[in-house]
Amino acid sequence: MSASVSPSVQAAELPSTNGKTEQPAAGETTATNGTSPKPAAATPAKQQQANQAAANDGSQPNTSLYVGELDPSVTEAMLFEIFNMIGPVSSIRVCRDAVTRRSLGYAYVNFLNSNDGERAMDQLNYSLIRGRPCRIMWSQRDPALRRTGQGNIFIKNLDEGIDNKALHDTFSAFGNILSCKVAVGEGGSLGYGFVHYETQEAADNAIEHVNGMLLNDKKVYVGNHIPRKERLQKIEEAKARLPTCKSRGFGFVNYEHHDAAQNAVTELHDMDFHGQKLFVARAQKKTEREEELRRSYEAAKNEKLSKFEGVNLYLKNIPEEFDDERLREEFAPFGTITSCKIMRAPSGISRGFGFVCYSAPDEANKAVAEMNGKNDG
């Protein structure tokens, strides 16, 4: 025998919302006793067929609701009291475990008249039943839509003041919402939630417009919902691909044939690669590479030396208060100065020596002849 409860007694105490005689919503129950009215005709068979047909072709029958997030203590009778205020209810069923009969936390509410479902959705969604906000959706027997996750989005960093209704109101601007919920714990909002749209277009629209925006002064994240399993899997994949230590910025590629290696050097050396100039050259032994670097450093040094040969003057006992400009003024009369520098400590204080470089040796010679040993006074 079914454990469903006939709500006819409670129903009799409710104010009639439509002036007509209340229909006892006993359609789902097989329990009868001598005093209750005859089990209601509930939804006429034809109406049920029509509803089912409508549900099958994707449109809504407007009369069948799924009511979720119910406390296990919620009964058909309680739901009848609430939903029959909207319009005559034809039947209610709280789904229960077949063995333990414990409530599975959801129920079906069927209305007699079309559009009462819509009104119930508007007026009762997220209302508290036994202290818990219920979540109302259209009854959708075909599980395909729920399984694909199409149009399902995830929102995080929600202000604690944002509840189901507020979340629904914010996100209803982007499309038709099938289901919406803020995750809650003992202390209220957990700061994240879900909005499942009818279409992926609506979801994309919501992501585009709300991701990174302020909601109650908090910058929220909005993205496609990724099931936990998939997410963990992605994290693992990412870990596997990432190096465990920092790259030193160089590596080696071995080709099978010399031609290919040669070609790589020709084509890739100095090429822009992720914003950096790529260095591609024949791989050298460490000692070979060190030798080459030492030689090129030596060459650069020699070039500098020869460049300054005969034109660069070393000066010492430069007055402490001199700056480069003042030094330049002193030495300008003897030729064209190409560079001029007083050496300084990191603190900026003059070290009392420096360099003046002329464009030609005879200029430098003239400066030495005129300035060497000269007192600044």
Partner DNA sequence: GATGAGCGC
Residues that bind DNA (CB under 7 A): 27-28, 48, 52, 64, 66, 68, 91, 93, 95, 104-106, 108, 110, 137-141, 143, 146-147, 149, 152, 154, 156-158, 178-181, 183, 190-192, 194-196, 221, 223-228, 231
Q: What is the nearest approach in angstroms of DNA to the Cβ of residue 192?
A: 4
Q: What is the nearest approach in angstroms of DNA to the Cβ of residue 37?
A: 19
Cβ proximity to DNA: between 64 and 75 the closer is 64
Q: What is the nearest approach in angstroms of DNA to the Cβ of residue 123?
A: 19
Q: What is the nearest approach in angstroms of DNA to the Cβ of residue 16?
A: 23
Cβ proximity to DNA: between 27 and 335 the closer is 27
Instruction: Collapse the DSSP code of 279 into the 3-class scheme (helix H, G, I; strand E, B; otherwise coil) and give the result.
Output: coil
- Is residue 108 a contact partner of residue 93, using CB atoms and an 8 Å limit? yes
- Is residue 153 a contact partner of residue 227, using CB atoms and an 8 Å limit? no
**What are the tokens at 230?**
């998939």
Cβ proximity to DNA: between 7 and 27 the closer is 27
Cβ proximity to DNA: between 40 and 318 the closer is 40
Q: What is the nearest approach in angstroms of DNA to the Cβ of residue 178?
A: 6
CA distance 106 to 254: 64
Backbone angles phi, psi at 48, to 5 degrees: -60, -40
Q: Which helix (H) or strand (E) holds 146?
A: helix 144-148
According to DSSP H, which parts of 223-323 are helical?
228-241, 258-268, 286-308
Cβ proximity to DNA: between 130 and 234 the closer is 234
- Residues 6+ away with beta carbon under 8 Å from 125: 134, 135, 136, 164, 165, 168
